Amino acid sequence: MEQTVKKPIMEAAAFQPPRKFGAANWVGLWTLCKREVKRFWKVGMQTLFAPVVSALLMLVVFKLAFPQSTSAGVGGVTFEAFLAPGVVMMAMLNNAFANTSSSVIIAKVQGNAVDFLMPPLSPLELTVGFLSGAVVRGVLVGIVAMVTIWVLQITPFRVESLWALIYYPLVAGLFMGAIGLIGGVWADKFDHMAAVQNFVIMPLTMLSGTFYPISRLGAPFEGLSHWNPFFHMIDGFRYAFTGNHEGDLMLGALYCAAITLVLCAACWMLFRSGWKLKA
């Protein structure tokens, strides 16, 4: 049976007492942040280690399937060294999206969205609280994956750029967390979220140079790939370990930051309006 969202009746959430300008509910914000982190931490085998296993299997399969590419190398590094950062970033992107989207859609389906709408939390605090969980989950998946790759010696790597190593996982977590939050608010059933994941997120991720240099695409697809923010995140994260990049790093970093800010602002506006959340 198709599971749909029951329309919540939450008029009380719209009558929160006014707060002074500049005042922040730090206790409520911290509680929401902990709630979002504990949601995935309680099922860590599914949310943290399962994506790592998938990433490792993908690396092993590609390494065994294309041994000639491994020996020849890509862009001055071995094929597995080229592939590993892209696979890890892909895992971080998917898990950041899953954290916010699942949190909101489950709350809507179960009818308990009032749990975060009733407390005196501003739209900005709600946005920060939900996105914090996405960033933490994405970064933890990346850390566990890279540590596992290093321990198992699947491919040697070293940090070439510390700013890229820190910047791109944080931006990726905010970017995909915001998309998941918007999708969760918009979706009326789990099928809607699956459509976003399968027909938007996955194609853009797969066609972003994760498994190949985009220079092999040729015109006009190579040029179009530079408009894909997933490409810049994967290219920048790969640069952190290999020192090589295909796109303009500064332009790509600013491009990703601008889109992320727009998406975060859209999340804030959704919570402020209460669209599909408050009756």
User: Does the residue 38 lie in any domain?
Assistant: no
Residue 228 lies in a domain: yes
| Residue 258: inside a domain | yes
Ramachandran sector of residue 57 (left: φ over 0; alpha: ψ -120 to 50; beta: rest): alpha
The pLDDT profile of the chain, 279 residues, written as one tens digit per residue, is 444 444 443 444 444 444 544 578 899 999 999 999 999 999 988 898 999 999 888 888 887 777 655 555 666 778 888 889 999 999 999 999 999 999 999 998 888 888 888 888 999 999 999 999 999 999 999 999 999 988 887 777 788 999 999 999 999 999 999 999 999 999 988 888 888 888 888 888 888 888 888 877 777 878 888 899 999 999 999 999 988 888 899 999 999 999 999 999 999 999 999 888 875
Which pLDDT belongs to residue 29?
A: 93
Give the span between the Cα atoms of 157 and 136, in whole angstroms: 23
Q: Is residue 17 part of a domain?
A: no
pLDDT of residue 143: 94
- pTM for the whole structure: 0.86
Q: Is the residue at 116 inside a domain?
A: yes
Burial of 64 (0-12, 13-18, 19+ CB in 10 A): exposed
Residue 155 domain boundaries? 44-273
In the chain, the number of structural domains is 1
Asked whether residue 183 is domain-assigned, the answer is yes
Rounded Cα gap, residues 120 and 80, in angstroms? 49
Residue 126 domain flag? yes
What is the pLDDT, as a whole number, of residue 272?
93
**Residue owning tokens 């977590």:** 173
18 inside domain: no
CA dihedral 267, 250, 83, 102 (to 10 degrees): 0
CA dihedral 67, 71, 75, 76 (to 10 degrees): 160
pLDDT of residue 213: 84
Tell me which residue of 228, 215, 226 sits closest to 248, measured CA to CA. Answer: 226
